[in-house]
A and B are shown apart, each in its own frame.
Chain A
């Protein structure tokens, strides 16, 4: 079946603008994760959803970041008033559920560039 998809694949925006990133998980996967990967760096955990619920939002870098998931499927990550330091690749991953040892499958990422 189809893997995790993300859109857009690339996004260039001006400082101060809002952006919305989208993730479509694998069908049937109840867990969904968002990560940020800066150039040459590891993956920074942002937030995860089990179903539509995000138990812990403390990984979000600032209050400009928010995420939601509706219908237990598609998730959007919104960054308001973007800053240059927000430039990175934003990766989404999904798995069957959070509490068991299920493999996370990653999407191709959205490369965000803030000018």
Chain B
């Protein structure tokens, strides 16, 4: 089955700096890679996603890149703000339509 690894587990950045979170996956047949933000005590919410036929996608301060050959994808947050502080999860959807999640990155943006 699919195995998704996520790094780092914790990340602290100064407000205004960039944050990068990286994930790798094992199943080359995985075809869809969403990223979720989960604030304390709240449900996960989709912030950006990328399909396997796309190398990069950007939405304002958030971007995701995908390297299918290396089987890794990354989340980039620029100009970080305190409200970006949360746990971020990457996920990969397998060919069988199951979603496999990384173990999460706890991001703290220091004002």
B73 within 8 A of A: no
Question: Contact: A101 with B43, CB < 8 Å?
Answer: no
Q: Which residues of A contact B96 (CB under 8 A)?
A: 55-56
> Would you call the interface of chain B mostly helix, strand, loop, or mixed?
strand
> How far apart sit A109 and B45, CA to CA, in the bound complex (Å)?
13
B43 touches A106 (CB 8 A): yes
**B103 is an interface residue with CB less than 8 A from chain A:** yes
6 extra A-B contacts, CB within 8 A, seeds A56-B96, A56-B97: A42-B104, A56-B98, A99-B97, A101-B32, A106-B44, A106-B45
Nearest residue (CB) in B for A108 is: B43
**Complex: A108 Cα to B39 Cα, angstroms:** 12
| B interface residue count range (under 10 / 10 to 19 / 20 to 34 / 35 or more) | 20 to 34
Contacts A48-B98, A99-B97, A104-B34 given; indicate if A42 touches B89 (C-beta within 8 A): yes
Q: Among A42, A43, A48, find the residue whose CB has the most chain B CB atoms closer than 10 A.
A: A42
- Asked if A41 contacts B97 (CB within 8 A), the reply is no
List CB contacts (< 8 Å) of B32-48 with chain A. 32, 34, 42-46
